Amino acid sequence: MTIANLHDLHRPLGSTGLTVSPLGLGTVKLGRDQGVKYPNGFQIPDDDAARMLLRQARELGINLIDTAPAYGRSEERLGPLLRGQRQDWVIVSKVGEEFADGLSRHDFSAAHTRMSVERSLQRLETDFIDLVLVHSDGNDLAILEHEEVYATLGALKAEGKIRGFGFSGKTVEGGLKALEQGDCAMVTYNLNEQNEKAVIDYAAAHGKAILVKKALASGHVCLSPGVDPVRASFELLFAQAGVASAIVGTINPLHLAHNVATVAQVLRGH
């Protein structure tokens, strides 16, 4: 029996020139277990478990990995874990949010944005990051209109330190504005929350990229008996032409394999 995989289902990430798997691996659970909203507690995996998870993801055809400075030690762990594999991964990181001593703080200044990207390059042991997203605090329009973060990311792209940039926000207005000048928006879209659909539609019409966060409602989704919530979630997502990939942060190998198999079935129309 062949194991379901995503190797032949990779798709363009908007107009960035990057090609990504329809499922991406979120890595908050590799670096942070405080102040996270999951229905069940979890233990941060050790290096061996993390290495096996990454190998499994790669073998299943996942090439997209999502991290952030706000994910605790995630970036600095991924650097050594991904040594020798840089060409196998499209790496997404963030700027704007810092997490320390159990608290988040935000800084969207030019100086902090540049420092953050340089630090991510060092931690990830790479010369470039494929995509850097602004980690919004919810004041999406204010960040885009009054802060220096987007202009700084544009400069870093021109310097070759990042290949694309965009915005992980919380509002339709922010998502639409972010896509006017940026390459990608990360939106929440799932069976419980669909109010950012206008951003997905705009992206589809303008050749921009959409990554979906909380695709499985962070594990909270409940449906009628007999309906597979994972399948229903991915059917909803991939019915949208603008969606490039869904980021799912699991550290459970069985969940990862099930998610991949389900996405493969949905996209192949089985």
Under DSSP, is residue 254 helix (H, G, I), strand (E, B) or coil? helix
Task: From residue 212, give the alpha-carbon distance in Å to each of 165, 224, 248, 249.
Answer: 15, 24, 9, 12
Distance between CA atoms of 155 and 245, rounded to whole angstroms?
26
Check: CB of residue 97 under 8 Å from CB of residue 104.
yes
Q: Considering 71, 150, 189, 202, which one is annotated as catalytic?
A: 71
DSSP codes of every residue in 208-253: -EEEEESTTGGGT----TT--HHHHHHHHHHTSTTEEEEEE----H
C-alpha of 89 from chain center: 13
Phi and psi torsions of 130, nearest 5° = -65, -45
Is 38 considered catalytic here?
A: no
User: Which among 190, 186, 262, 153 is positioned nearest to 14, based on CA atoms?
Assistant: 186
Q: Which residues pair with 65 in a beta bridge?
A: 25, 91
Ordered alpha helix ranges (H), the chain: 28-31, 47-59, 74-81, 110-123, 140-146, 149-158, 172-181, 197-206, 229-238, 253-268
- What are the residues whose beta carbons fall under 8 Å from the beta carbon of 202, sequence distance 6 or more? 175, 176, 179, 208, 242
User: Which among 173, 176, 171 is positioned nearest to 188, based on CA atoms?
Assistant: 171
Q: Please give the positions annotated as active site.
A: 71
